Amino acid sequence: MLLKTQDYNSDHLHIPPFNFAVVDDGIFRSGFPDTTNLSFLKTLGLRSIIYLCPEPYPEANLEFLNANAIQLHQFGIEKSKNPSMEIQEEKIRGALNVLIDAKNHPVLIHCKRGKHRTGCLVGCLRKLQNWCLDAIYEEYKQFAGNKSRLSDQIFLQMFDISKPPSFLDRKS
């Protein structure tokens, strides 16, 4: 991964996307990657991208995906301060199914700024990992900063990980 020895002392500087971070083994998060970030993304050896906006994916990014056999999973969640809880939940559950399937790793989750939609998906993953709510909020705020939304924190609080039993049916 990132710590490959051949990376040391190379002259080429990597530019990670805005709000980039490692979420877990083989899971990354960020804001929207632009073309200056593609050489960095290449070092992650991604197998898939979970894209949480409804807008079409840019042509340059699609070319990068095709050239590197990266699968795009799009779950278009409207940018809104008060999205319908049902719609948001359904899409987040779809994205979570892709996210927890190790066959899709390494995977990058991103939306526009890597704050709200990405923060909600990562927060739901943390619920699955049995993190306490305080730690989930703290991580959410670390990326959303002064744009943190109470509606997202309520969503995270209400999100029921025990609800659909089919939810954990992985295809492996």
Q: Does 24 bind a copy of itself (CB under 8 A)?
A: yes
Q: How far is CA 99 from the centre of its chain?
A: 8
Quick check: 96 and 15 in contact, CB under 8 A? no
Q: Does 6 bind a copy of itself (CB under 8 A)?
A: no
Q: Does 154 bind a copy of itself (CB under 8 A)?
A: no
Quick check: 34 and 114 in contact, CB under 8 A? no
CA 82/CA 123 separation, integer angstroms: 17
Task: Point out which span in 47-55, 72-80, 90-98, 131-139 binds a copy of itself (CB under 8 A).
Answer: 131-139
Task: Point out which span in 4-12, 70-78, 80-88, 148-156 binds a copy of itself (CB under 8 A).
Answer: 4-12
Q: Which amino acid is at 164?
A: P
Residues sharing a CB contact under 8 Å with residue 55, sequence separation 6 or more, in sequence order: 76
Helix, strand or coil, per DSSP, at residue 159: coil
Helix, strand or coil, per DSSP, at residue 26: coil
Q: Does 53 bind a copy of itself (CB under 8 A)?
A: no
Task: Point out which span in 18-26, 46-54, 82-90, 115-123 binds a copy of itself (CB under 8 A).
Answer: 18-26
Known catalytic residues?
A: 111
Contact residue for a copy of itself among 95, 100, 108, 156 (CB under 8 A): 100
Which residues bind to a copy of itself, rule: CB under 8 A?
1-3, 5, 7-10, 12-16, 18-25, 100, 102, 128-132, 134-135, 138-139, 142-143, 161-162, 168
